[in-house]
Chain A
Amino acid sequence: MWQSLPELGTGIVYAILVAAAYTFAVALAAGRGRPRLLQAARLGAYTTSALVLFAVLLLSYAFVSHDFRIRYVAHYSDRRMSTAYLLTSLWGGQDGSLLWWSLLLSGYISACVAWLKGRYRELQPYVIATLMVILGFFAMLMLFAANPFETSIAGARPDGEGLNPLLQNYWMIIHPPCLYMGFVGCSVPFAFCVSALVTRRLDNEWVIAVRKWMLFAFLFLSIGNVLGMMWAYEELGWGGYWAWDPVENAACLPWFTAAAYVHSTMIQERRPMLRVWNVFLICLTFFLTIFGTFLTRAGIITSVHSFAQSSIGSYFVYFMGVILGTSLGLMVWRLPELKSKGQIEAAASREAMFVANNWALLGGMTFILVSTMYPKISELWGESATVGPPHFNRWMGPIGLIIFALMGLAPLFGWRKTSGASIKKAFRAPLIALAATVVLHLALGGYLGYPFFVARDAFYPGVVGVILQKVGSCLPGITIALCGFNVAVIVQEFVRGVGARRAAAGKRGEQESTLVALFRLVEKNRRRYGGYIVHLGIVSMFIGFTGTAWNIDRETAMVPGQSYRIGEYDLKYEGSRRCPGNPKCSPAEQADIEKMMIFADIEVTRSGKKLGHVHPAKFIYQAQPDGPTTEVAMMRSLHEDLYTVVGQIDPQTKRATFQFHVNPLVSWIWLGLLILITGTVTSLFPELSLGEVGAWSYVRGAAGVATGTAFAVWIAMAPGMAYTHERPAPAARGPAVTSIRSLRQLPTAGLGAAGFVGLALGSVVSFGRRRRVDAKSPCD
């Protein structure tokens, strides 16, 4: 095996394709009148998944044993890398990331097949068949275009090239897997949708089956996207977190359609409406995940993710054609059965609001899609246009606000129709909150450094330009006002719910304290109140996004001893040092053999009070000496982030160029993600306990472990981020740069604790669920 590992690996990829084909055939046979074959198909699906796992383990073995005969291993690792980063390389490059994608898909397939045991019998064969087609596509892709086990023509090298330094950081370890979890997760709803179309079982059955899977995918799409923002913010060093890069855009497209689906499905679950729409949204979401991968991989539009490009684009084009053809064909074929049997009864109803919200989300998605593709589209008529961030920022501001406003409005209406009196009652408090926010903001905003109006340049000539300029200049004020409105809506929902519970308890002659009532309210309606918590997370994110309106960006050059003032900060450049070598460097920095680090030490004072030091740096990796990386140093707070980047440092005079940014409110975005995770997990869990048996406890356990670990790793990393605040002097030990630490320096105790917390959460959740299944009736 040691001699023929690459051949064995390639053979296993062949075997994956064969096993997928076998399972597909057996599943189809089971669907067409031979139900006894279903068990064979289910086992076939497990076999295929286990084969993918075996292939991934083989590749891992090649990485940890430095088998540089394999091109992929030689290209993305070297002998100096730590084991953790060696395993990260599994998804660091193209070929491996396809295998990694297949592994995640296999995980989903196994979980789905296990969950399906004994339920949705009619849908099951086609669900398995569809998933096998998707897995088969990735196997084919690996075999014909991007085989991770391919050997280099030149034979084994003494050492590899090493992983791209941009990817050697903490966020990059967890960002791609999270995003992939979201992307891949959209395959399961798609499989159910295809299956429902094929079997004509178009009632609520499949919608209810899909809901949990979609919510799970939505959760990971959100986490993946925000982690991507963090990576860009901390690693790319241009001062922001979202540059409307084609790949970033591609990653957020399915989020929009998934968010739309999560809402529109609620209507179909209650009434026989929007059936075509939901089928369309599911197919579109899946299509967009493949499209996003295509955009990242094929590199048809220039992007920061260019490290992942290759020539596999044409395969994706064919596959997208197959998806489009299949889903459209099936939809047209089943159109008569998909027809709505109900209609929206009044404009003042939650259904109407949801539909409006769906259109706004889809509109936002279409805008991003078209703008991203515009450089390519414009080539059709011989023009080669570029679309930059200003274009997106100008338009997405207003579009985002429409979605944001609708998000606040929808909960104020009841299902079907809402009477004038109850609308009046529902709107009173939120409108008062809106007015109060506007007044407060106008009065205090300027004083606090967050003025209501900001000056904007006209982006276009003509009327549209003037309108966009006017809207743009009061956008921060409107956003903050809507934040007030939205928070009031959510608080009101909770207050009214608690009130109703306490009143009901009072009627029964019991006493329920506010806290108990709140807890029980959420527990009994987790889906609804989980949704509201997610909304709260979105509000927090919007506060963070608005912060960009008040950014301060400066560039300067300084010699040691010089000071520079930005906002309320005084930054004193004390000098630069080169590690390893300089006596001021910490032992960890001295011992680093992977790279040379040049730090600039800056003392930070705010309004006369010393806050500590920041150390922006340039790292030069031995594996890639030509491309020094920029290492950002930050001081974070809920109020604002001080973001420093060093450009060039003259080795003789120590004169250095700097970029300084003061980014207000950015931390609110990360906070928003935490709230969003809490909300989604809240609304995900109870639905799982709706009288389900068996495998769900495992899925719940896995979900618990995944989220728990994500949380815990996060918490474990928090001291690393706060480090700069406490450090008194640069000479003290340890690297002071906030985020950039190699994995060896990660607190191992923290990671261990993370694992335990995740495990504990998972087991508590799954055992808790078992008890509930016994105790609860299915319709509770």
Chain B
Amino acid sequence: MNNRLPRMHVVRWAAPLITLFAAIIAGTLFGVQLVVLTLAAAALLLVIWLLWSSVQALAGETELTFEEAFSLGTRSAEEEQKRAVLRALKDLEYERSVGKISEDDYHEYSARYRAEAKRLIQTLDENLAEGRKQVEHELQRRLSKKAVKTKPTDAPEARSNGGSAPDAEREANAPITRDCPFCQAKNELDARFCKACGKSLAEAEESSS
């Protein structure tokens, strides 16, 4: 398949160019009728080639391309929903910046959308988890088979994005939420306002320190 790809790529660009060239030559030598005829001939060749490929695919004689195989596994519904929620969040920010929405409403909707986005991202992750495990397993297997000479620490390094193992461990143990000093609701570390009571967390932090 790897050998076929670049060839197809060349044909895809070369065929129209050759046709165009032939049509221009025919036009200058024999007039506009020949131009149309040349183009028609090219169209007919295209029809034949496409039909042949289609019948081949129907008979199951073609390999599955990588894109197709990949798209077999994708579930786009959640992805689209996630995009919609992110877009709604962006809108919300915009409307707040031009003063079209009151602060109270902003916090209420922002919290709602964030929760929804989180849920969707989790669902997406869960859907992918199975596949990821397989891929990682396969990767391990191939790496151990192929790169015997490389250091054994290579694989985990690649997985944790270049950081060393103790770093990753520390990250995993670090708190991922903090409690609101007013209502004790759990909030993200970077949250500036509490999602339950709406009070400013930044101010609370300053006053406590």
Contact = CB atoms under 8 A, between A and B. Distances in A.
Interface of A: 19, 26, 35-41, 43-44, 46-47, 50-51, 53-54, 57-58, 60-61, 64-65, 83, 117-121, 201, 203-205, 208, 269-271, 413-419, 421-422, 425-426, 496-497, 499-501, 503-504, 525, 528, 690, 778-779
Nearest to A525: B94
A60 B36 contact: yes
Contacts of B28: none
B83 A208 contact: yes
B191 interface: no
A25 B112 CA distance: 45
B194 to A, nearest CB: 21
Contacts of B165: none
Given A57-B40, A417-B105, A779 B83 contact: yes
Nearest to A121: B71
B55 A40 contact: yes
Contacts of A778: 83
Contacts of B80: 203-205, 208
A270 B54 contact: no
A54 B44 contact: yes
Given A39-B57, A41-B54, A779-B83, 18 more contacts: A36-B64, A39-B62, A40-B57, A43-B50, A43-B57, A53-B43, A54-B44, A57-B39, A60-B36, A203-B80, A204-B80, A270-B87, A271-B88, A414-B101, A497-B98, A503-B97, A504-B97, A525-B94
Given A47-B50, A57-B43, A208-B84, A64 B36 contact: yes
Contacts of B54: 26, 40-41, 43-44, 46-47
A44 B58 CA distance: 10
Given A269-B84, A500-B98, A779-B83, A205 B43 contact: no
A318 B46 CA distance: 34
B43 A54 contact: yes
Q: Which 9 A-B pairs have the closest CB atoms?
A: A43-B54, A414-B100, A500-B97, A57-B40, A40-B57, A40-B58, A54-B43, A47-B50, A118-B71
B67 interface: yes
Contact of B105 (A60, A120, A416): A416
A455 to B, nearest CB: 43
B128 interface: no
A64 B33 contact: yes
A46 B49 CA distance: 10
B3 interface: no
Contacts of B60: 36
Interface residues of B, number: 48
B110 to A, nearest CB: 12
A208 B83 CA distance: 10
B76 A119 contact: yes
Contacts of A422: 99-102
A38 B40 CA distance: 28
Contacts of B77: 201, 203-205
B68 A270 contact: no
Given A40-B58, A204-B84, A117 B67 contact: yes
A121 B72 contact: yes
Interface-central residue, B46, B62, B86, by most chain A CB under 10 Å? B46
A49 to B, nearest CB: 9
Interface in B16-67: 32-33, 36-37, 39-40, 43-44, 46-47, 50-51, 53-55, 57-58, 60, 62, 64, 67
A270 B94 CA distance: 15
Contact of B100 (A40, A41, A50, A418): A418
A88 B13 CA distance: 29
A47 B70 CA distance: 25
Given A39-B57, A205-B80, A419 B102 contact: yes
Nearest to A52: B43
A503 to B, nearest CB: 8
Contacts of A425: 99
Contacts of B62: 39
Contacts of A201: 77
16 contacts: A39-B62, A44-B54, A50-B47, A54-B40, A54-B47, A57-B40, A117-B71, A118-B71, A205-B77, A205-B80, A270-B84, A270-B87, A416-B109, A496-B98, A500-B94, A525-B94
